A and B are shown apart, each in its own frame.
Chain A
Amino acid sequence: MAAGELEGGKPLNELLNALARGTFHGHPGITEQLLRSQLYPEVPPEEFRPFLAKMRGILKSIASADMDFNQLEAFLTAQTKKQGGITSDQAAVISKFWKSHKTKIRESLMNQSRWNSGLRGLSWRVDGKSQSRHSAQIHTPVAIIELELGKYGQESEFLRLEFDEVKVNQILKMLSEVEDSISTLISQPN
């Protein structure tokens, strides 16, 4: 088998894409056999297996450390220098891949690390005043808010809540306090 079979280029980029989908974004069914047959059909399984493990390990290390670009270059340079490491072509493909996929991978890792439900959506409606012929009661305007909540990998749960104007303003006041806390946190030195 020619050494160039496992070089960088388009197959490696596709491999990293598939590894990211399987490892970080939760896509099932991305097997070693599938990857080899689709991307490296000429490479024997006993050579593809360690190569795949190496690439997966490198991608996981980069993602786990949330490497910035300086750290990334230092890490990949070290990988090119070690025994059984990667080639400089492969390093270039990995570097380019991380730069364009970092945000999305990080977002997936954050979602996986959140064990409570997340807020997936919010919609709302305001119902106006109404009056009954048989009753003197006049309904005051109400806001109906529907929250879509869900844990990672699970179906959404919908929660519909009703607020009058007083309650909306009470919530607003508390959300303002949250925002003040966020500003305080962000302004603190690390």
Chain B
Amino acid sequence: MALEGAPRSPILRQTPRCLPIARQQGRRTPCSVLVDFQWKLGMAVSSDICRSLKYPYVAVMLKVADHSGQVKTKCFEMTIPQFQNFYRQFKEIAAVIETV
């Protein structure tokens, strides 16, 4: 059973461009660019291994473009505490990037 969250949001659609390379300890590691971000709030009710699951989760679908411009889809889920940590980290990033 999935409860629909906000409607799909295309606000992040953009054309991938040549990517700057992230450096870490002298090694060049490629970054991908986020092209699209969609989310869904679901409720796991029951499964074959656990009849009483009853937990909400946030499902995220990312579309990312690599250095060649090829777009891939990556999906993952977070429990509510995981999501809250994810959100908190993004707020920290926003606070830091604003001051740089």
Which of A's residues lie within 8 Å of B, judged by CB? Answer: 63-66, 109-110, 112-114, 116-119, 122, 124-129, 139, 141-145, 147, 149, 159-163, 165, 167-172, 174-179, 181-182, 185-186
Contacts and interface: CB of A to CB of B under 8 A. Distances in A.
Contact of A162 (B3, B20, B86): B20
Given A117-B76, A170-B12, A185-B43, 10 more contacts: A65-B52, A66-B53, A110-B79, A119-B77, A143-B96, A159-B74, A160-B30, A161-B31, A161-B33, A178-B5
A117 B75 CA distance: 7
Contacts of A161: 31-34, 62, 64
Interface residues of B, number: 56
A141 to B, nearest CB: 4
Contact of A163 (B11, B34, B55): B34
A163 B77 CA distance: 21
B70 interface: no
Nearest to B23: A127
Contacts of B43: 185
B77 A116 contact: yes
B41 A172 contact: no
A63 B97 contact: no
Interface in B40-86: 41, 43-44, 47, 49-59, 62, 64, 74-80, 82-86
Contacts of A162: 19-20, 22, 31-34
Given A110-B44, A142-B20, A167-B12, A122 B89 contact: yes
A143 B77 contact: no
